[in-house]
Amino acid sequence: MSWHGISTVARLELRQRARASKWVVVLAIWFAVIALVSVLSYLALNDPDARSGAAMYDVVIFFVLGLGMLVVPSLTATSINGDREHGVLATLQTTLLTSADLVLGKLLAAWAISGAFLVTALPFLAWAWVEGGVSVGRILLAVVVLLLVLAVVCALGLMFSTLTARPVASAVLTYLALGALVFGTVIGFGLSAFLVNKEETVRVYGIPNDFFDQNEPTYDANGNFVPGAERVPTKADCVEHDETRNVTHTERIWWMLPLNPFVVVADAAPSEPPANPDQGMGFTPMRWISEGSRAARVGETTELRQECWVDGPAGQQPVDPNAAAAKDAAVWPFGLVFLLLAGGGATAVAERRLRTPIRRLPNGTRIA
């Protein structure tokens, strides 16, 4: 393996892509589609009370990720078995290029192209920044995480193109694998939530249920409500007591969520919450996903639940300790590490499958 070898393969790939397909046209369409989505989301979400920058940022980032996951597999998922079909792989394998040169060169070329797609989206992220609500740091972090996620997508496609003889099969497998990451994790989380849901006795500090039994509203003989006779609970009525409740232990299944590339990107760089909560939250799917998956990681509390939801003389609302814990319970590092390991593993598998001389030849594969 050498940089010279990798760059030779990467240059060959890029030159082929640049000429063989109409990438300029594809990039132009991509740019136009993002522009359209940005303008529409600006018009739809431009609310003088909320900061529309955050909403635009969320829409553009998710759109780039979603569209990227559709486009990027076409760069690598047919790359190696396609070369085999054209009879151009073996002519490189008999040169001094190693299998690692071939795999890393192809990966680098595909990654560079997906980077080009990302770059065309930058003007719209800049627009979101101008609108306010997101910092440059957040945008940069999101772009870096996006680049890493797209590299993993490239690597997965490359691996599948070494595993099947036909390009169609590897393209389908790549999309299935991405579908499993995007939809499978959410479906898996939703379905297994049922498994970790059970009735449990929890300790609550609040108004006991029997308070209302003992203080039923009074009615006269005609069945009319007699006001003033019932008692309104006050802070003084809050006591510690046991209650039987449905508890969902999401802290046992939260790990499925960060396997999802959307969760990784959303949780890595959600827009900052507004300084003034009364300013309105706006449409911020990335922050919702981020907060939701962090809450899932922390799960429901095992400690005493502060549920004395009555206005006492002190006028203070009790704070849920888990909400505070969830703020620091980032899930994206787990997801990013998982995705990078998967990408690294996929690259290693692809490299192994390209080693020559070949001992075992899979069915239907041709060498030259």
- β strands within 174-331, DSSP E: 197-206, 218-219, 225-226, 239-248, 305-307
Closest CA to 265 of 60, 37, 114: 60
Closer residue to other proteins (CB): 5 or 68: 5
Closer residue to other proteins (CB): 84 or 305: 84
Interaction between residue 359 and other proteins (CB under 8 A): yes
Q: At 206, phi and psi to the nearest 5?
A: 180, -165
- Report the distance separating Cα 171 and Cα 122, nearest Å: 28
Element (H, E) at 337: helix 332-353
Out of 3, 20, 221, 232, the residue judged to bind other proteins by CB under 8 A: 20
Out of 1, 3, 4, 23, the residue judged to bind other proteins by CB under 8 A: 4
For residue 5, the minimal CB distance to other proteins (Å) is 7
Out of 79, 93, 161, 162, the residue judged to bind other proteins by CB under 8 A: 93
Residues near 12 by Cβ (< 8 Å), separated by ≥ 6? 105
Closer residue to other proteins (CB): 84 or 287: 84
Interaction between residue 167 and other proteins (CB under 8 A): no
Out of 37, 80, 97, 156, the residue judged to bind other proteins by CB under 8 A: 97
For residue 197, the minimal CB distance to other proteins (Å) is 51
Closer residue to other proteins (CB): 11 or 352: 11
Burial-class residue 346 by CB neighbours within 10 Å (0-12, 13-18, 19+). Answer: buried
Please answer whether residues 117 and 30 qualify as being in contact, where contact means their C-beta atoms are separated by less than 8 angstroms.
Answer: yes
Closer residue to other proteins (CB): 40 or 96: 96
Interaction between residue 92 and other proteins (CB under 8 A): yes
Q: Which region among 167-175, 200-208, 280-288, 356-364 touches other proteins (by CB under 8 A)?
A: 356-364
The CA-CA-CA angle for residues 5, 118, 284, to 5°, reads 145
**Encoding tokens for residue 166?**
């036909």
Closer residue to other proteins (CB): 1 or 247: 1
Out of 36, 66, 91, 217, the residue judged to bind other proteins by CB under 8 A: 91
**Pairing label, strands 218-219, 305-307:** unpaired
- Per CB under 8 A, residues contacting other proteins are 2, 4-5, 8, 11-12, 15-16, 18-20, 86-88, 90-97, 356-359, 361, 363, 367-368
